[in-house]
Amino acid sequence: MKTTPAPGPREKATEGRVLNIFSHGMLILWAFMVVLPLLWAVMTSFKTDKEIFSSPWALPDSLHFDNWSRAWTEANMSDYFLNTIIVVGFSLLGTMLLGSMAAYVLARFEFPGNRFIYFLFIGGMSFPIILALVPLFYVMQNLSLLNTLPGLILVYIGYSLPFTVFFMTAFFRTLPSSVAEAAFVDGASHTRTFFQVMLPMAKPGLISITIFNFLGQWNQYMLPTVLNTEPDNKVLTQGLVQLAVSQGYKGDWSGLFAGLVMAMLPVLAAYIVFQRQVVQGLTAGALK
Amino acid sequence: MQHGKYRFIVGFLTAPLAIYGLFVIWPFIQSIYYSFTDWSGLSPEFKMVGFKNYTRLLDDEVFWKSLQHSVMLVVLLPLVTLTMALFFAFMLNVGGRRRKNAAIAGVRGSAFYKVVYFFPQVLSIAIVALLFQFAYNPNSGAINSALKAIGLDSVQPDWLGDPDLALWCVFAVLVWCTVGFFVVLFSAGMASIPKDYYEAALLDGANRITTFFKITLPLLWDTVQSGWAYVGILALGAEAFAVVQIMTVGPNGGGPDYSTTVLPLYVYQKAFRDGQAAYATTIGVALLIVTLLFVAVVMKLGRRERLEY
């Protein structure tokens, strides 16, 4: 059913050109809107407080690196960084180990309760975390884990498990069973088969989900805000927010901007270097 | 493979289940139980009060405001974000000048756009919220100064301080954060649609708008649907909490005259600011119901014949 004839070559060309200008225009506009706030923050982090207030869009008259050193030492950014690295490092390790162990068992063994446990895990993906946080606060208090880094690590692991188990179960199901059986026939125990044969085979899946969990845990804000109010134990995100609140009275805006940029740059740099893996990890991770 | 099987299964499941059960499932069940008590959270004593917390919700003006804002976010955020993302992704993949031998082509530099658009996705929502809080500052923020610089001295809104604007400012930040991720995701989906479909459509005289609605969107529908659920859960949960709590004014956030408060923030305020833990869990149960309803609607509206290609 052809009602209109195909456009001739000439019409085609003009349609292409108008559309091309339009699409480029829109695309450039959005790229600009994404980059501008980030560049503005970097620029502002080199200014004096006076410049920030009098001319927010002008370039700094000279580069005030002292903002950065002040943020790093006096505003405790170094401590926040260290806390974040400790918490994320251990939670990531725990999440990946425990998550793939559970996923492996659920994906490859038949036993009573298998389906139930699987749905128990993946059910956690859709319920609002904040609902569980109120009693969790008191569970942590009773276990003396409130406001401690190990407590925060355990909670991060708990809340990362649903997605990790979901994703890794699907992944382990796709691996061929012949290799595992061969290893088992050769006398390897189940545990050994898992660590020496199956886990290495699952490497692509492990990388994707590690990146997904890394970004999620590094950027976590709600869990530490509620469960970790000890000033010495603050992680990067809550430390910065805390700083912003107190700066309202102290007025070291340039130091605060330096801190903000300091927290942004490592992830942005890592993203630019490992862009392909990050995009694959996040997109595979988010919507499988 | 039977030897030691059960010992192995138990050994591998105990630790993950213990952590998950203790820190996620158990508090979750407890919170529903607490919503029927008068527990303050400050002392260990409480008694059962039946549905008293639930009837109190009905008369709580701030609860209704929070609910209204959360519902607005969950309806509008996926709509705006996904529409924009589909538009940009289509431009990137199909908007280019037609070259020789190709029915459709992406714009030049599409790889670059995808890299840049993805930036906000790797940043912490807390850091993004702080950054925009400065940008919105009415006196020396980036936005009002930019308006002044282009001669709009008279247009100097109070942004986050204006009860009519504050929620929209928050909304814009959430859009800013989420669009890029879906541009990349939808682009990947579009790239896997066979080129012959477009060629056939163009031969039949279809323009790009028709090809988008007749070919691209139907073949991408599964991805759009899961994206819809994903953005909706963000809009109801942690992301909305962080943005509202950090950016908007008032004690612990919530905006002038509760104009930006959302359900997760209200749960937080009741539990940890006002010492009304039981009532907070009741609001949490309401949030859970909204979330489940939302997921059900997405599933229902999104169901279609799956297209194989």
pLDDT in tens, B224-233: 988 998 899 9
User: In B, which residues are within 8 Å of A275 by CB distance?
Assistant: 115, 118
Nearest Cα to B31, choosing from B297, B302, B288?
B288
- With an 8 Å Cβ cutoff, is B23 touching chain A? yes
pLDDT confidence of residue B18: 96
Q: Helix (H, G, I), strand (E, B), or coil: what is residue B48?
A: strand
DSSP 8-state code for residue A196: I
For residue A184, pLDDT over 90 is answered with: no
Between CA A103 and CA B68 the distance in angstroms is 39
Between CA A108 and CA B191 the distance in angstroms is 33
With pLDDT > 70 as the criterion, what percentage of chain B qualifies?
93
For residue B2, pLDDT over 70 is answered with: no
Instruction: Give me the torsion for CA of A64, A70, A71, A73, rounded to 10°.
Output: 150
With pLDDT > 70 as the criterion, what percentage of chain A qualifies?
90
pLDDT confidence of residue B126: 92
Between CA B166 and CA A121 the distance in angstroms is 37
For residue A12, pLDDT over 60 is answered with: no
pLDDT confidence of residue B97: 60
pLDDT confidence of residue A8: 46
- With an 8 Å Cβ cutoff, is A33 touching chain B? yes
What is the per-residue pLDDT across B81-93, written as a single tens digit (0 to 9) for each?
Answer: 999 999 999 988 8
Residues 172-231 in A contacting B (C-alpha not used; CB under 8 Å): 181, 184, 189-191, 194, 215, 218-222, 225-226
Q: Measure CB to CB from residue B140 to each of A56, A241, A264 and give the nearest one.
A: A56
DSSP 8-state code for residue B161: G
Q: Do B288 and A124 touch (CB under 8 A)?
A: no
The interface predicted TM-score of the complex, written ipTM, equals: 0.88
Q: Are B216 and B193 in contact (CB under 8 A)?
A: yes
For residue B269, pLDDT over 70 is answered with: yes
Number of H helices, E strands in chain B: 15, 0
Q: Measure CB to CB from residue A241 to each of B121, B246, B284 and give the nearest one.
A: B246
What is the per-residue pLDDT across A107-142, written as a single tens digit (0 to 9) for each?
Answer: 999 999 999 999 999 888 877 888 899 999 999 999
- Whether pTM exceeds 0.95: no
Which residue has 């607490």 as its token pair? B34
Between CA B121 and CA A285 the distance in angstroms is 13
Q: Which two tokens stand for residue B267?
A: 């749960």
* Cα angle B137-B140-B144, degrees, rounded to a multiple of 5: 70
Looking from the CA of B216 toward its CB, the CA atoms found within 13 Å total 25
Which residue has 């204006």 as its token pair? B162
Residues 104-143 in B contacting A (C-alpha not used; CB under 8 Å): 107, 113-127, 130-135, 139-142
User: In A, which residues are within 8 Å of B181 by CB distance?
Assistant: 282-283, 286
Q: What are the start-end ranges of the H helices in chain A?
A: 9-44, 49-54, 66-73, 77-108, 114-123, 129-142, 149-174, 177-185, 190-193, 199-201, 203-218, 222-227, 236-250, 253-273, 275-287
Q: Which two tokens stand for residue A83?
A: 């806390």
- With an 8 Å Cβ cutoff, is B203 touching chain A? yes
pLDDT confidence of residue B153: 76
What is the per-residue pLDDT across B133-158, written as a single tens digit (0 to 9) for each?
Answer: 989 988 878 888 888 888 787 778 88
- With an 8 Å Cβ cutoff, is B256 touching chain A? no
Q: Across chain A, which distance is largest between two alpha carbons, in Å?
A: 77
Q: What are the start-end ranges of the H helices in chain B?
A: 5-20, 26-34, 52-58, 61-94, 110-117, 119-122, 125-136, 142-149, 166-191, 195-203, 208-211, 217-236, 238-247, 263-272, 277-302
Q: Which two tokens stand for residue A174?
A: 């796709």
For residue A252, pLDDT over 80 is answered with: no
Q: Across chain B, which distance is largest between two alpha carbons, in Å?
A: 80
Our CA-based measurement puts residue A135 at a distance from the nearest CA of chain B, in whole angstroms, of: 5
Nearest Cα to B228, choosing from B289, B285, B297?
B297
Burial of A265 (0-12, 13-18, 19+ CB in 10 A): middle
Q: Measure CB to CB from residue B26 to each of A13, A55, A139 and give the nearest one.
A: A139
Q: Do A101 and B16 touch (CB under 8 A)?
A: yes
Average pLDDT of chain B, as a whole number: 87
- With an 8 Å Cβ cutoff, is A285 touching chain B? no
* Cα angle B33-B260-B276, degrees, rounded to a multiple of 5: 30
- With an 8 Å Cβ cutoff, is B299 touching chain A? no
With pLDDT > 90 as the criterion, what percentage of chain A qualifies?
47
Q: Which two tokens stand for residue A45?
A: 């982090």
Q: Do A221 and B96 touch (CB under 8 A)?
A: no
- Segment among A93-97, B110-114, B195-199, B240-244 with least mean pLDDT: B195-199
In sequence order, the 6+-apart residues with CB closer than 8 A to the CB of B269 are B252, B254, B261
Q: Helix (H, G, I), strand (E, B), or coil: what is residue B37?
A: strand
Q: Do B96 and A124 touch (CB under 8 A)?
A: no
φ/ψ of B95, rounded to 5, equals -85, 0
For residue B179, pLDDT over 80 is answered with: yes
Classify the C-alpha dihedral A271-A277-A283-A288 as positive or negative.
negative
User: In A, which residues are within 8 Å of B9 by CB distance?
Assistant: 105, 109, 111
DSSP 8-state code for residue B23: I
Q: Could you give all domains of chain B from N- to C-terminal order, each with its CATH number?
A: 54-302 (1.10.3720.10)
Q: Measure CB to CB from residue A37 to each of B131, B245, B246 and give the nearest one.
A: B131
Burial of A241 (0-12, 13-18, 19+ CB in 10 A): buried
User: In A, which residues are within 8 Å of B106 by CB distance?
Assistant: none
Q: Which two tokens stand for residue A133?
A: 């946080």
Nearest Cα to A57, choosing from B127, B173, B157, B149?
B149
pLDDT confidence of residue B10: 92
Nearest Cα to A212, choosing from A151, A287, A263?
A287
User: In B, which residues are within 8 Å of A34 by CB distance?
Assistant: 116-117, 119-120, 176, 180
For residue B39, pLDDT over 50 is answered with: yes
The mean pLDDT of A96-110, rounded to a whole number, is 95
Which residue(s) pair with B37 in the sheet? B48
Q: Which two tokens stand for residue B230?
A: 């994903």
For residue A248, pLDDT over 70 is answered with: no
pLDDT confidence of residue B76: 96
Tell me, what amino acid is at B55?
Answer: T
* Cα angle A102-A106-A110, degrees, rounded to a multiple of 5: 140
The mean pLDDT of A3-14, rounded to a whole number, is 48
Q: Do A134 and B34 touch (CB under 8 A)?
A: yes
User: In A, which residues are within 8 Å of B22 by CB distance?
Assistant: 139, 158
What is the per-residue pLDDT across A46-81, written as a single tens digit (0 to 9) for each?
Answer: 988 878 777 777 788 778 888 888 888 888 889 999
| Mutation site for A-interface testing, chosen from B115, B121, B134 by largest number of A Cβ within 10 Å | B134
What single string gives the DSSP state of each residue in B53-116?
HHHHHHT-HHHHHHHHHHHHHHHHHHHHHHHHHHHHHHHHHH-SPP-TT-S--PPTTHHHHHHH
Q: Which two tokens stand for residue B208?
A: 């790009």
Q: Are A191 and B8 in contact (CB under 8 A)?
A: yes
Q: What is the CA radius of gyration of chain A?
A: 25
Residue of A278 and A251 predicted with greater confidence: A278
Residue of A111 and B4 predicted with greater confidence: A111
pLDDT confidence of residue A21: 79
Beta carbon pairs, A and B, within 8 Å = 280
pLDDT confidence of residue B253: 67
Residues in chain B: 309
With pLDDT > 90 as the criterion, what percentage of chain B qualifies?
50
Q: Are B260 and B167 in contact (CB under 8 A)?
A: yes
Between CA B174 and CA B166 the distance in angstroms is 13
For residue A188, pLDDT over 70 is answered with: yes
Between CA A163 and CA A245 the distance in angstroms is 34
